[in-house]
Each structure stands twice: as structure tokens, then as C-alpha cells.
Amino acid sequence: MKIAKPYLLFLGDAPDQLAAKTAIGIKDWRADDCVGQLRLKGCNADAGLDDMTIAEGREAGAKTLVAGIANRGGIIPETWIVVLREALEAGFDLAAGLHNRLADCADLRDTARRLGRNIHDVRHPSETYPVASGEKRTGKRLLPVGTDCSCGKMYTALAIEREMLSRGMKATFRATGQTGILITGEGVSIDAVVADFISGAVEAIAPANDPEHWDIIEGQGSLFHASYAGVSTGLLHGAQPDALVLCHEPTRAHMRGLPHYALPSLEACMEANLRTGSLTNPDVRFVGVATDTSRLEEDEALAFLAKTEADLGLPATDPVRTGVGRIVDNLD
């Protein structure tokens, strides 16, 4: 089910920008979908939107209050619940990407039921998906894949969608994680579906489309991550990508959360993704590299990109530093 837009972004009492990074991501990628932000006393984050009350947000046309913040210790504070309930009463739906479900709070659940409002706990899939058919679908698909988790796959996908749309191409970002779902208003938290349906869920969110349309599917994890490679494999098979983009953070000392696992080489990561991806799309190929060089100085970063480009024979970019235009140039 689609989350109703526009949004009023709830930043709660976020102690810093990092705690509100979901809200900031929504603002960065879908500013037109955000009427304002609602902050509690003590909030040190700022998404750069007008501060509004519940009533003001409603007045400005917002339909959903989005809790774009991390909560601490797995508890939803009572100060949030007061605001969330007030939002329901004022006519808002609620959306959040927390590990806890807002709908597990009896007060919110009962209020929403009574008033006929929706609560979207986007980390918890509410739909059931079919087993993947593996059948070829019309339309084109691009998937960013990573040497590791958290190396810029969502950012890369959104940047490529934006670049394509700016060129008048048909493109749709397809969200597979909670922040992506809140940004677009739909998608599936692919790591939270039942294992049998990983590929089937991806087939469902990126269905057959116009022959020249690109689905830009949000990647997750890595084939080389010992905890999550099953998710990455099922995602790759369900996506049936025509085009892969290799995502990499060059300063990482080991796989995220696994100090005893080294990162794969870029070449090994490409080979594994081509081999695995070719099961459902024999024509899969890499079209570029998207790195997160934010931890390097400018000259180091540019040298790294130049070397990567020479080594791999692919456009090597940093979506923030250089943009992704040269990757889009490299598509058919």
C-alpha cells in the first residue's frame, strides 16, 4: 500500500543530525513531498524545512506524519506517542521505519482503528508475496551492488534516478529498505520478508514495464557479507538487472560488523555478481562504479577514481563528488 503524501516530518527529540538521517534523506530526495518538520523540545536536528505544529502541517495539506528518526534502546518514548496520537486525531496517517512497530503500541493502534487511519511500519512487510517465477519481464532494470553493506547503494540508486529523470528518461526508484520506502512511499523491506519470497518480492515491486523504462532497484548487503549474502542473492535474482553498478567505500578495513572478514577486491565482487546475476539475466553487465570517497581528501579521491576507471574499464564516480552522469552515459 502506498503511503499518502505529502508528509509532515517528525524529528522528535533527535539529539543530532545523524539520528534524523531518515527525515533528512526524505527532504533531500523528495523535498516537494514535504510540507514541513515537527520538532520536540531538545531536538538538535534540522531537515531544513519550516517548523510546524500538527495543526499547521494539516493546514498545509500533509497527509502522513513520518517519524524519520532513530529511537534509542528499542523504546518509543511517551513524548513521541503523545504527538503521534494527536496526529492521528487530526487526520494524519503515520509512517515509521523503526525496529519497533508503532502499531504494537496499543494506544496508537486503537486510535488508528477507531478513526480509520493507516499506520505504515515500513520495516515490517504487511503484504504477502509470491514465490519468484524467474520469468523475463519487459522494461530495463539497474541494480547497485556492493563490496559491503552501507557503502552507498541507496544514494547511488536515487542519484541515478534523478539523473535519468533530468534527461527525460523514464525511470523509477524501487525501494528495498525502510528509508527508501519512506522516501518513495512504497516498496518492501527486503531483509524482513520470509526467506522463500525474497526474489518474488523483488519481482513484485519491479514489474513488467515499458521497454525503454528503467527500474532503479535499491541494492542491499553484499554477496561477500557472511550474514546477509542470502538476501543479496535473492535480490539480484529477482531484480534480473540489465545493468549493475558497483558500490564501494575504499577506506573500510573489514566487512561491516565482521572484523574477521576482509573486503573482496572490486574484480572479485564484479565476477561474483555477474556469475550469480546471469542465472536470471544472461545479458547482465556492469555499467559503472559508484564510490563513497568522503573519507578521502579531494586529490586522493580523484586519484582513486582514475585508477579504478583504468583498472576496470568502467566510469568510476562518486555520486556526491562527481555525480553519476557518466554512468548514465554508459547505458545503451
CB of 218 to a second copy, least distance (A): 15
Our finding on whether 217 is near a second copy (CB under 8 A) is no
Start-to-end C-alpha separation, the chain: 33
In angstroms, give the least distance from the CB of 194 to a second copy: 6
- Site membership for a second copy, residue 191 (CB under 8 A): yes
Are 274 and 284 contacting, i.e. CB atoms less than 8 angstroms apart?
Answer: yes
CA atoms of 237 and 199, how far apart (whole Å): 6
Told to check if 150 binds a second copy by CB under 8 A, we report no
- Of 16 and 104, the one with the shorter C-beta distance to a second copy is 104
As a whole number of angstroms, the distance between CA 237 and CA 241 comes to: 8
Give the E-state strand segments of 212-291 in sequence order.
214-217, 243-248, 285-291
* Residues from 233 through 252 that contact a second copy (CB under 8 A): 233-235, 237
Contact window for a second copy (CB under 8 A) among 47-55, 85-93, 96-104, 271-279:
271-279
Is residue 74 near a second copy by the rule CB under 8 A? no
Answer yes or no whether residue 219 interacts with a second copy by CB under 8 A: no
Work out which of 17, 53, 100, 227 binds a second copy, going by CB under 8 A: 227
Kindly give, in sequence order, each residue whose CB lies less than 8 Å from that of residue 124, ignoring residues fewer than 6 positions away. 101, 189, 192
Question: Of 122 and 301, which has the nearer Cβ to a second copy?
Answer: 122
Please report whether residue 228 would count as binding a second copy according to CB under 8 A: yes
Per CB under 8 A, the list member of 184, 280, 293, 308 interacting with a second copy is 280
> How far is residue 206 from each of residues 45, 84, 136, 238, measured CA to CA in Å?
34, 32, 12, 9
Residue 54 in grid coordinates: 500538527
173 binds a second copy (CB under 8 A): no
Q: Which is nearer to a second copy, 280 or 293 (CB)?
A: 280
Is the Cβ of residue 66 or residue 190 nearer to a second copy in the bound state?
190
Q: Taking the mean position of all CA atoms in its chain, how far away is CA 73? A: 23
Contacts (CB under 8 A) with a second copy, residues 152-171: none
Burial 176-185 (b: 16+ CB within 10 A, else e): bbbbbbbbbb
Residue listed under C-alpha cell 523504546: 75
Could you give the CA distance from residue 302 to residue 56 in angstroms, rounded to a whole number? 46
Q: Is 29 in the site for a second copy (CB under 8 A)?
A: no
* Nearest to a second copy of 167, 275 (CB atom): 275
Q: What order do you get walking across the sheet with 119-121 strand by strand?
A: 34-39, 7-12, 64-67, 93-96, 119-121
Residues that bind a second copy (CB under 8 A): 131-135, 190-196, 198-200, 224, 226-235, 237, 257-258, 260-261, 272, 275-276, 279-280
